[in-house]
């Protein structure tokens, strides 16, 4: 299920997780079964542990852990299955084995079967004549209701299903029909049937094994003659009497359907045909399509297709398309080879088989049910129906098969649900890979598949369709293997472009990887995709795992091939800028920015005029995406013009320029909306300013400034999740706007404009709304140097006041954080000049004040219902201290005196010894950055040499400050340095008093450190 916009980060996290799993999977691939000796020891020790429940469970757990390692590579067990089975069956056959050991052996056998699969394991069971009675007796002794020993019953039923294949009449095993007590003895045949019937109506795993037993047993010649009709009567009566609306009825119907499906799968057609019509009628009366039980509907679909295969003769259709050579090596040979062309048999040119088809009327009912099953709400039902369509169509005459294909294509109307599209794609893939979709139908199918590759239907706050796109990739993969290259030549450009678009621009990682795999198959099998090898190298299975990399990097490379450039751009414009997920919309616009140099004329003359009306349309998502796209494309075109020494308006006509200006006016007239439109228009302002559009002196500049200010004032009115984005967009737009349109030819600002802006923003720092303070703080930090010139001290004083805690604004931690960030940015903007004016530069007159403000932020320990909100302020203060210090060191290091440096390092050491991991890690990172900075080194660091021994430069990147087990042993070594002793002790004291599990677990170590520290203090 796709995620909503509120969960937009979910897929990114999921992709990161998928990439990690890929790396883990490639690194943990096994080469052989290395635990054989350990398994021998476990099995050999079962007798010793079976009496102790704890030891028994430990042994089982160890065996499960060993076996589960091979879940993805079970074939590695094949060479070892026989001896493992023999060891365990020896325990089972030993009459002296206690019941606990008996059941434990079967539990081990089940664990092996679970990993390797029962079908392969089944063939290894001993099936001699002498095994029949003992196994049957063991099975008769079991209690079907014992929930602790279901593995025993499951394995015994599987074993019996293998034994019952012995080629002897079961009547020979009956001997004397009278028991010693004088009662009539039940024949072996009836005993086996009784056991099978008993376990077909249970709710545990034994039911599945009982169905396997029935399918093997009933088809025996002797049993078929005497008991098949009775058994089918019993199953049909049980089906008729049961209801899927009750739990008991569901259990019974499950067993009956499994037994019938297995029976019609393994039985001979001539044996099953007399009963097929009756079974189909009973199945119709059950109305399984109305059931909410997914498994029942799937089993019903499986049984329907088996009945359909029974009605028609098992005959290979002569009319099917046969690609004569399926060797990949042969496909890579020169095309047009006469030999290969002779091997290709086109079904349409072949005569029908001489023998007439005999198609019973029930087939129409079967095909209809399968077509309905393609629209089922559950994937496993649709998949079963698709396989049924493929199997049955292969036994129909050409005309009827074509009717099936026609009915199948009806699934792809836009009135149908995503379930129908998905089921239809699966069925087309099945028909294609079986050669049942003739080349004459490809022209009807390809347009449908191209639509399916981009199928994405909005439903509420999310969308459906990822499974449809994935299945469409499967169709393309199947076609690559099914058809000769000459058949697909007319559609190659369409298919290749669609697969590239899906591999690069699809929202879901599984669809991108499916498209990449389909593209790879086509490149290898068809060899006709333009630039196939080059593209495949860049967009392989692992490369497309990262969505951002796909949109911003891989797409640019592929767009370098002209066959793909325009289709990729058109897809982004038509399908992605109006996507329901805002993350996709934003990525699409950035991708358009990167693709613009590949087709600048097309972007300017076709795409931009198409986007401008959409940017003032009615649909919110389309408007949002179109505004961002206009901004990104305009910026890219202007950069390209500038690089080629052309006018920035080279690619724009008057209509386009006027349209760009009208976006802001139309949006303001219709309403800014808030969470989407404000950041979008701010981004437009930023990009147009960076593009140096000729709007200087235009009234639109005033409108842009008003919008930026209004966005900062409106921060309290929007949701907390959108505030940061709006704030960052507005501040970025302000910086770009000021740099382009507020500076005159002399490089100075208009005094009136400067006074208005600075005064407005400084007054906003004392607003009663915290978010307004945040916005105006960052706005001051974004002002360019020419607007700060002559007003620097006023700005610093205003920001300083915003960092001071007062009773009225004690909880305004975010505004204090942003004010500290703004101070560092202002310092970096104005630069350093020791003897300069304090109104223009960071100099000797104001550096002490700046450091005092920043150091005061490190002492903020405010807490409220949100937790340690003062931590935000401390983190910002530490970052700002580092940035200002490095700025001074690189320009005029003499402005840093010893006392300031001591305070910085001591406070950082205290923060690096505290309990909250992320703040400790940040403090440790800043501490080591200042310690090891050497361009030039930071002066006056106390105990520099000792610190460099404790924290070697080589371990700067590897030391994990987030892990208390790594951080505290290092930081406690500072207790031996007098300058840091008090501050580190203070930080450790807070940590020892912490209530987190990690801190409590390490408390003993920290307490020991404190004791040692006090000893040092009093002994020195």
Reference 428, options 381, 389, 398; nearest CA is 389
Q: Is residue 232 part of a domain?
A: no
Q: Where are the alpha helices (DSSP H) in 312-375?
A: 328-331, 338-343, 362-373
Separation between Cα atoms, residue 35 and residue 559, nearest integer Å: 51
Q: Is residue 83 part of a domain?
A: yes
How many structural domains compose the chain? 4
Separation between Cα atoms, residue 970 and residue 424, nearest integer Å: 63
Residues 443 and 548 in one domain: yes
Residues 443 and 493 in one domain: yes
Residues 421 and 445 in one domain: no
Please give the torsion angle defined by the CA atoms of residues 430, 435, 439 and 443, in that order, rounded to the nearest 10 degrees. Answer: 0
Residues 367 and 405 in one domain: yes
Separation between Cα atoms, residue 530 and residue 616, nearest integer Å: 38
Cα angle 58, 62, 68 (rounded to 5 degrees) comes to 140
**Tokens (6 digits) for 750:** 């208009």
Contact call for residues 172 and 164 (beta carbons, < 8 A): no
Residue 247 Cα distances to 200, 203, 235, 254, 289, angstroms:
15, 10, 18, 11, 17
Separation between Cα atoms, residue 170 and residue 187, nearest integer Å: 8
Beta bridge partners of 832: 842
Domain termination residue (choose one: 513, 539, 563): 563
Q: Is residue 987 part of a domain?
A: no
Contact call for residues 197 and 246 (beta carbons, < 8 A): no
Q: Is residue 482 part of a domain?
A: yes
Residues 460 and 380 in one domain: no
The domain spanning residue 366 has which CATH number? Answer: 1.25.10
Confidence (pLDDT) at 3: 36
φ, ψ for residue 772, nearest 5 deg: -65, -40
Residue 139: CB atoms within 10 A of its CB come to 23
Which range of residues forms the domain containing residue 524?
Answer: 438-563
The number of CA neighbours under 13 Å toward the Cβ of 257 is: 26
Confidence (pLDDT) at 702: 93
Reference 770, options 796, 745, 731, 805; nearest CA is 805
Q: Is residue 835 part of a domain?
A: no
Cα angle 547, 548, 550 (rounded to 5 degrees) comes to 65
Residues 452 and 510 in one domain: yes
Separation between Cα atoms, residue 248 and residue 231, nearest integer Å: 20
Please give the torsion angle defined by the CA atoms of residues 959, 962, 963 and 968, in that order, rounded to the nearest 10 degrees. Answer: 80
Cα angle 878, 884, 888 (rounded to 5 degrees) comes to 140
E strand or H helix at 464, and its extent? strand 462-464
Residues 519 and 549 in one domain: yes
Domain termination residue (choose one: 65, 97, 123): 123
Q: What is the DSSP letter of 743?
A: B
Q: Is residue 238 part of a domain?
A: no
CB neighbour burial string for 911-939, b if at least 16 within 10 angstroms, e if fewer: bbbbbbbebbbbbbbbbbebbebeeeebe
Q: Is the peptide bond before 1010 cis (omega within 30 degrees of 0)?
A: no
Separation between Cα atoms, residue 27 and residue 77, nearest integer Å: 20
Residue whose entry in the numeric block shows the structure tokens 């897809």: 571
Q: Is residue 395 part of a domain?
A: yes
Global pTM reads 0.87
Q: Is residue 68 part of a domain?
A: yes
Residues 380 and 480 in one domain: no
Residues 406 and 460 in one domain: no
**Tokens (6 digits) for 338:** 């006469």
Domain termination residue (choose one: 712, 745, 764): 712
pLDDT profile of the chain (1020 residues), mean per 10: 39 55 57 92 92 93 95 93 94 92 95 93 89 92 92 96 88 64 75 94 94 94 91 95 92 96 94 94 93 95 96 88 63 47 43 63 94 95 96 93 94 92 97 94 96 92 91 97 94 97 97 97 94 95 95 97 97 96 96 97 96 92 95 97 93 93 80 79 96 92 94 91 93 96 89 94 95 96 96 96 93 96 98 94 96 96 93 97 97 95 97 93 97 94 96 93 91 94 90 57 51 46
The per-residue pLDDT of the chain, averaged, comes to 89
Residues 581 and 707 in one domain: yes
Confidence (pLDDT) at 826: 98
Show contacts of 751-755: CB within 8 Å, 24+ apart: 754/787, 754/790, 754/791
Confidence (pLDDT) at 759: 95
Q: For 29-66, what is each residue's pLDDT tens digit? A: 788 999 999 999 999 999 999 889 999 999 999 999 99
Residue 676: CB atoms within 10 A of its CB come to 22
Residues 465 and 553 in one domain: yes
Separation between Cα atoms, residue 715 and residue 712, nearest integer Å: 6
Residue whose entry in the numeric block shows the structure tokens 């219902």: 865
Confidence (pLDDT) at 1003: 43
Residues 426 and 442 in one domain: no
Separation between Cα atoms, residue 785 and residue 832, nearest integer Å: 12
Confidence (pLDDT) at 442: 95
Residue 574: CB atoms within 10 A of its CB come to 11
| Burial status of residue 1002 (CB atoms within 10 A of its CB: 0-12, 13-18, 19 or more) | buried
Residue 837 Cα distances to 25, 495, 525, 789, 799, angstroms:
62, 67, 74, 10, 19
């Amino acid at each position: 299920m796709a995620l909503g916009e509120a969960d937009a980060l979910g897929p990114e996290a999921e992709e990161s997780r998928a990439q990690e799993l890929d790396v883990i999977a490639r690194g943990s691939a096994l080469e052989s079964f290395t635990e054989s000796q350990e398994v021998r020891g476990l099995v050999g020790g079962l007798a010793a542990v079976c009496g102790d429940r704890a030891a028994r469970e430990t042994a089982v757990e160890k065996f499960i852990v060993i076996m589960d390692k091979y879940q993805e590579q079970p074939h590695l067990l094949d060479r070892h299955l026989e001896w493992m089975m023999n060891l365990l069956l020896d325990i089972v056959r030993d009459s002296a084995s206690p019941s606990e050991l008996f059941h434990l052996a079967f539990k081990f056998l089940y664990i092996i079967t679970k990993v390797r699969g029962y079908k392969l394991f089944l063939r290894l069971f001993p099936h001699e004549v002498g095994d029949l009675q003992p196994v049957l007796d063991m099975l008769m002794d079991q209690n079907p209701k014992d929930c602790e020993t279901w593995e025993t019953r499951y394995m015994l039923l599987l074993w019996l299903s293998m034994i019952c294949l012995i080629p002897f009449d079961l009547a020979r095993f009956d001997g004397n029909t009278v028991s010693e007590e004088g009662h009539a003895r039940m024949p072996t045949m009836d005993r086996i049937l009784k056991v099978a019937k008993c376990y077909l109506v249970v709710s545990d795993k034994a039911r599945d094994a009982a169905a396997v037993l029935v399918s093997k047993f009933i088809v025996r010649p002797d049993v078929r003659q005497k008991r098949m009709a009775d058994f089918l009567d019993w199953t049909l009566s049980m089906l008729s009497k049961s209801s899927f609306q009750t739990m008991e009825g569901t259990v019974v119907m499950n067993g009956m359907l499994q037994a019938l499906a297995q029976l019609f799968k393994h039985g001979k057609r001539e044996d099953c045909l007399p009963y097929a019509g009756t079974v189909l009628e009973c199945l119709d009366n059950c109305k399984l399509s109305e059931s909410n039980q997914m498994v029942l509907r799937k089993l019903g679909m499986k049984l329907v297709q088996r009945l359909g295969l029974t009605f028609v003769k098992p005959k290979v259709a002569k009319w099917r398309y046969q690609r004569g050579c399926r060797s990949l090596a042969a496909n890579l040979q020169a095309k047009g080879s006469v030999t290969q062309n002779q091997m290709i048999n086109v079904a349409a040119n072949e005569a029908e088989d001489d023998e007439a088809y005999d198609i019973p009327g029930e087939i129409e009912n079967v095909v209809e049910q399968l077509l309905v099953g393609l629209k089922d709400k559950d994937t496993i039902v649709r998949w079963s129906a698709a396989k049924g369509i493929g199997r049955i169509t292969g036994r129909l005459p050409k005309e009827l098969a074509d009717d099936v294909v026609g009915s199948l294509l009806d699934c792809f109307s836009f009135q149908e649900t995503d379930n129908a599209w998905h089921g239809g794609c699966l069925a087309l893939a099945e028909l294609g890979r079986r050669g049942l979709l003739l080349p004459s139908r490809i022209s009807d199918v390809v347009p449908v598949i191209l639509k399916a590759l981009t199928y994405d239907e909005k439903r509420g706050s999310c969308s459906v369709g990822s499974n449809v796109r994935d299945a469409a990739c499967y169709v393309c993969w199947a076609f690559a293997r099914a058809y000769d290259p000459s058949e697909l030549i007319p559609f190659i450009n369409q298919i290749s472009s669609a697969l590239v678009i899906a591999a690069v621009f699809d929202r879901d990682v599984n669809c991108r990887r499916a498209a990449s795999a389909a593209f790879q198959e086509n490149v290898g099998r068809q060899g006709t995709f333009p630039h196939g090898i080059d593209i495949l190298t860049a967009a392989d299975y692992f490369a497309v795992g990262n969505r951002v990399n796909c949109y911003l990097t891989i797409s640019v490379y592929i767009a370098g091939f002209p066959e793909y450039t325009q289709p990729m751009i058109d897809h982004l414009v038509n399908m992605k800028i109006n996507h329901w997920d805002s993350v996709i919309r934003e990525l699409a616009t950035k991708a358009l920015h990167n693709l613009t140099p590949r087709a600048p004329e097309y972007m300017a003359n076709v795409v931009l005029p198409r986007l401008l009306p959409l940017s003032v349309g009615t649909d919110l998502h389309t408007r949002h995406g179109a505004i961002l796209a206009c901004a990104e494309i305009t910026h890219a075109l202007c950069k390209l013009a500038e690089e080629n020494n052309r006018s920035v308006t080279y690619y724009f006509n008057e209509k386009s320029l006027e349209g760009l200006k009208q976006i802001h006016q139309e949006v303001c007239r219709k309403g800014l909306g808030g969470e989407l439109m404000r950041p979008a228009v701010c981004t437009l302002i930023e990009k147009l300013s960076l593009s140096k559009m000729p709007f200087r002196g235009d009234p639109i500049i005033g409108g842009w400034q008003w919008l930026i200010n209004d966005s900062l004032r409106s921060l309290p009115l929007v949701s907390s999740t959108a505030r940061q984005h709006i704030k960052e967009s507005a501040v970025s737009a302000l910086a770009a706007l000021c740099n382009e349109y507020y500076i005159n030819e002399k490089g100075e600002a208009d005094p009136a404009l400067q006074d208005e802006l600075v005064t407005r923003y400084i007054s906003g720092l004392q607003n009663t709304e915290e978010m307004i303070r945040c916005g105006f703080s960052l706005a001051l930090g974004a002002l360019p140097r020419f607007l700060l010139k002559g007003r620097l001290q006023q700005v610093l004083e205003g920001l300083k006041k915003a960092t001071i805690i007062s009773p009225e604004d004690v909880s305004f931690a975010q505004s204090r954080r942003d004010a500290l960030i703004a101070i560092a940015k202002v310092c970096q903007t104005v630069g350093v000049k020791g003897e300069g004016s304090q109104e223009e530069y960071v100099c000797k007159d104001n550096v002490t004040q700046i450091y005092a403000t920043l150091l005061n932020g490190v002492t903020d320990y405010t807490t409220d219902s949100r937790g340690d909100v003062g931590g935000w302020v401390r983190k910002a203060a530490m970052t700002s201290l580092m940035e200002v210090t490095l700025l001074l060191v690189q320009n005029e290091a003499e402005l840093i005196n010893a006392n300031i440096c001591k305070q910085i390092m001591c406070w950082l050491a205290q923060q690096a010894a505290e309990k909250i991991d992320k703040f400790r890690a940040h403090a440790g990172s800043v501490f080591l950055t200042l310690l090891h900075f050497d361009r030039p080194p930071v002066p006056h660091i106390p105990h520099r040499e000792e610190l460099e021994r404790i924290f070697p430069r080589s371990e700067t990147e590897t030391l994990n400050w987030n892990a208390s087990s790594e951080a505290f042993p290092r930081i406690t070594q500072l207790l031996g340095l007098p300058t840091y002793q008090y501050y580190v002790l203070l930080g450790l004291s807070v940590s020892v008093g912490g209530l987190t599990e990690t801190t409590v677990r390490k408390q003993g170590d920290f307490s020991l450190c404190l004791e040692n520290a006090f000893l040092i203090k009093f002994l020195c």
